[in-house]
Amino acid sequence: MEGLELVCFQIIASSGAAKSYFMTAIDAAKAGNFEEAEENMKQGEEAMNQGHEPHAYLIQKEAAGTPTEPSLLLIHAEDQMMGAEQFKVLAEQMIDLYKELRSK
C-alpha cells in the first residue's frame, strides 16, 4: 500500500484511536476519575494530531498545484476525522458536566 491509500489509512487509524481515547475519557469522568479523563483527552488529542499530519500533506500538495483525486476511501478518511473532532467537543462538554454534577 502506498500513496493516497496509505495517507487515508493513516488518517482513519489516527481518528479511530482518538475517538476511542475520547470515549474512554467520558467513561472515566462518569466514574469520577477526572485525572484519568484528562489524560485520555490528551492522548486523544495526540492521536488527532497524528491524523492531521497526513491530512495537511494532502492539503499542501493540492495548494502546490497537484490536486488529489477524490475517492470513497478519502471521503471515509475525511468523515472519520471530522467525526473524531466532533466527538472531542462532545467529550469535553460531558466531562465538564460530570465535574459539575460531582461538585453538587
Which residues are part of a known binding site? 79
**b/e code 75-97 from CB counts within 10 Å (16+ = b):** eebbebbeebbebbeebbebbee
Amino acid identity of residue 12, one-letter, is I
**Options 23, 76, 85, 94, the catalytic residue:** 76
- Residue 52 annotated in active site: no
Going by the annotation, the residues of the binding site for Mg(2+) are: 79
Task: Classify 24 in phi/psi space as left (phi over 0), alpha (psi -120 to 50) or beta.
Answer: alpha
Catalytic residues: 76
